[in-house]
Structure formats: C-alpha cells, structure tokens
Structure 1
Amino acid sequence: MTALRVALLGECMIELQEREGGLLQRSFGGDTLNTAVYLARLLRDHAASVSYVTALGDDALSQSMLEHWKGEGIDTSLVQRLPGRVPGLYLIQVDAHGERTFSYWRDTSAAKAYFDIEASPLETELDRIDVLYFSGISLAILPEAGRERLLAAAQTLRERGARVVFDNNYRPRLWSDSAHARAWYQRAFALSNIALITLDDHIAMQAAACTTAEALAQVWALPTPEVVVKQGGADTLVRLAGHTPISIPPAPVAQVVDTTAAGDSFAAGYLAARLSGLAASAAAASGNTLAGTVIQHRGAIIPSDAMPALGL
C-alpha cells in the first residue's frame, strides 16, 4: 500500500518562553510546524508520511531544528537551506489565565525566501504529494510572487485530485491591511477542499464589525466543500457541502495552562482523523480532545507520552 504523503508549508521559528524571574526557555515552533509535529505523531502507525516545507539557514539552530523534526518522524526532504539566512524568533509571555502574547523578530527569516529559486523542492515534488496544508500565516510571510506560486501549486494539486487544506490563522501585523488579506484568503478558500476557520480571526479581518451570526453566515457561504469552525471553548461547527452544519462540544479541560498551539493541534487531530477515514463529527471530537490536552501544558509542543490516541 502506497503511503499517503501530507506536506505542510510554513515557517518554524525559535520560540522563547518566559519563565519566573525573566528566565527564558528555548524551543521551536510555528503554526504549521506545530500541526506537522502532532500530525506525524498521530499518523505514526498509519500508512502516511508527513513532510515539512520551509526554508532554513545554514546556522546551528537551523540544523538543530532539522534534527528535531526528524526525531518526530517528519520528512525534511522539502526543506531548503539558504546560506547566510537564519530562522525567525518569537517570545511568548503567558498571563495568569493562560492567555499569551507574542513578540516577533522575523523580517529576514529564511522561510520568506522559499520560492525565490526557479523551482522549489515543493514544486518539483507535486506529483508525489497527496495533501497540502498551509495557513494564513504561510501566505502572509511570503512576498507576492511566492504567494502566487504557492496558490499555483495548490491549484495543480486540486486539479489532479489531491487535497488542499487551508487554515485561516490571521495575524494583522503581517498584512498591509485587512482588505489585502481578504483577497488572498478568498483565493485560498476557493482552491481548498477543507477550510479550518478560527471564528475570532475571521471576524477580525472583516471590513466592518459583525456579529457571530453574521460571521457564520459568511463562513457557510464559502466555496470550500468542507468547513470547520473553531470557537475556542464553545462548540466546534462542521459544514459539509449540501449538509446542515453540525455542532461538536469541546473536550473537558481541568485547567488551562497555556493556549499556545490550541488551534494548530486541533487541525492535526481533525486532519489525522479525516485521513484515517473517520467521519467529520468524529474528526472534530478528535481535534477537540487533542487541543484540550495541549492547553493543559506549557509551550506549543507537549511531551509525546501526553498525547491522546487518534480518534479519542
């Protein structure tokens, strides 16, 4: 049986987590990288492989990232190494309620230059990729020409029957304005089989203030056949083309410690379940369970022995 190949494109940065007394703990993270790690863990015993698509520098920290990803079972053959470039960096500060704030240093990140060469590793391997996953942040960090090539790759995959998954992660500071972001998002939604939408992010990028009901009406009108709406601690909503949206309650959480990677881990739980043949309702429950586990730990990536099983 040929293994299903899932490629996730984005940026992994150096993560600094602030501790008591101002001490900093270093790790690595980024929205699509977090999803890749959790997806690789969940699919480890299935006929599937997970590839990460990005660019890194030739420095020691970039090499450390690569070794870490390989240790998680992630294929790194689609990663570019760019001499003289370095990864981006971000600092997480968490308040008493587990909510976090971020500070970024990423203007010259190597990941921005992934499509600067004539044919990137992703583009040369398109005929061997079954699922492409990217996010609003993946789009935002790329220059306009890079975005065009990413969407062209998505179109090629969609036309030959592969699956495209788009997560709407929206960071206003990465875009010149919300109208610019909306234009690119609409194109991504039109090319995707599955859209993962954080409702707060969708509302934040609209031209005018809208209610939850108005935002959901906009979301249900999207052309994407499968739409999943994440609402934090409220029910997850799933709409399949031609069907009424269904509602799946969140997993119970004893104590929220850190909400970092909640949406990223949900995406992994949902996608792993769908790729394993589970129904959308079961996949949403799987995503909720993993996200509920992740937010009870510090940092983006929890210990592997804390992982719930796929589908639970």
Structure 2
Amino acid sequence: MAPDLFPGFTRQYIKTPDEVSIFVRAKIDADKPPLLLLHGFPQTHVEFHPIIPSLLPHYSIVLMDLRGYGASSVVPSTNGSGYSKRLMAQDCVFVMAQLGYDKFTLVGHDRGARVAYRLAFDQPQKLVKVVVVDIIPTAAMYSRFGDTNAGLRAYHWLFLAQPEPFPETMIKGNDNGKMFLEHTLATWTRKRNLDDFSEAALDEYRDAYCSDERIHSTCEDYRAGAFLDRVYDEEELKLGKKIETPILAVWGSTGLFAEAMASKAEGPLEIWKAYARDVRGKGLECGHFVVEEDPEGLTDALLPFLLEK
C-alpha cells in the first residue's frame, strides 16, 4: 500500500457475493458524483496517483484493485475462468453499490479499460460515461496478431495466455518476477526506462506482483482474454451490438496499440467506431503508461469529456 500517495482516502475491503475480497480506496463527497478508476497490468490502483488532484475538485473518487491484483483476492481459476472481464465488471458494480452508487463514471487503463467497456456492453444502465486508456477491444487485438509489428509489440498476450505453469515458471526466474515486471514497465514507455514512475509506485508494483500467486493470477487474466473476453467481443459484433454509453478513447502515440496501427488513418479510434456509437478519441505524446507518463495531458483530455453535459 502507498497511503502517502492518497491523503484523506479511506481504505477498506469489500467482499463480493462470490467471496472475492476487493481492496478499495475512496474519498467521498456527498455533493460530487462518483468516478471509479481501474488500473492495468502489471500495476495496482496506485497508478492513478498523479491525476487525483485534478479530479478531486469534480468527483468523489473510488479506486479498487482488480481481482487477482494488488491487495484484492486471488481466486481459483483454470484457463482464465475466474478472471473474465465480465466477472471483474460485476465486482465493480457490487463495490459501487456497497458505497451507495447505482450509476457512475468509469475510467480504465489497460486491463481496467477492458473491464470498463465490457461493463458498458453488459450493464450500460450503470454507467454515465466511460474512458478507455491505451487499448483497443480484445477481439480486435487478437485479429491483428498476423501483423508482425503488432505481434512483436504485444508478445505478452500470447505468452501469458500459454497453459500453466510455463509462463509462470519463466516469469518467476531467479528473482520472483522482478526482472519481468521492470522490463515490462520500462519498455512500454516512450522513454524505454523507469523514469516516469515514482519510487513509491514502483515499490508498490514490486510488492504486489512479485509472488507466485500474483504471477499466476495475472497469467489467468490473460488466459481469460484469449478464451473468454475475445469470444464475448466476437458475439457482440456478430449480433451487431454496439456500446451506447459515451466513450472517450485516449492512447499513447508510442503505446502498444497506436504503433501497431500506423496504417489506420485514425489510429485506435477507427477500431473503436466498430464497437461504440458515441466515441471520440485523442492520442498523447507518450507510451502505454499514459497516467504516469503524461498526467497533465491525460487530465486535459479527460475533463472536457467528463464534465460535458
């Protein structure tokens, strides 16, 4: 935990109906609407600390660690069965209901963004607006692995989804995953180093990731992407269903997805238009870890969208 990064925030664990303990930090103001922030791989809720000061004047803020990440429960799972984005989205709805919110705005980065758009498909009545940071939908991502550039940039999708215990064993190595974690964080940034991460955040990520059970749970998250989340997307497309909730897509110009789609005139936004009716987008001059690489640029993109009536 990094309490110094979130002064005035409460901490609690909320247990879902399927016995998953979700770690939640919140700062609630009865006069402000709720905003839920969801982190990505291989991070925790701590990734959002740079943008909290810009959001607090406008929102009651709720942060949670996704199941299998940070201080939330690791759940039994085979081939991703316990880590579908549908289940994670249900966790979000339950947590927010326990805090007194039936409807909320949601900002997600990476895996958290996949939870966000799945929730927009499954339970749109729960959402006011959605922001997805540096992703394209899961089915769209898998459809691009025939392209060498996309496959090399996002090699971890196929590696982490391999049957256990192969990726778990390889990641663990001699340092319990520290090298893999730091390599991932560094090489997905524009600078290709760790300069944009605070030491407090890096310590949190190391503590949260470098254990057998967390390495396994995050592999299960990616297995869920391959065998469950991808299928959900394909079913929506086959039915001609689109997300009705307004969506803002923000991406890093040197992030995992923008570079892989250099041939697309509108970049990731062009992909999102096949999945959502009301979508707009903006690229920022950074890599994948947009929240920590360019917090000012991100809030400048977020606030006009979020606060627009």
Tell me the TM-score range normalised by the shorter chain: 0.3 to 0.5
More strand by share: 1
More helix by share: 2
- What TM-score, normalized by structure 1, do the two folds share? 0.40
- What TM-score, normalized by structure 2, do the two folds share? 0.41
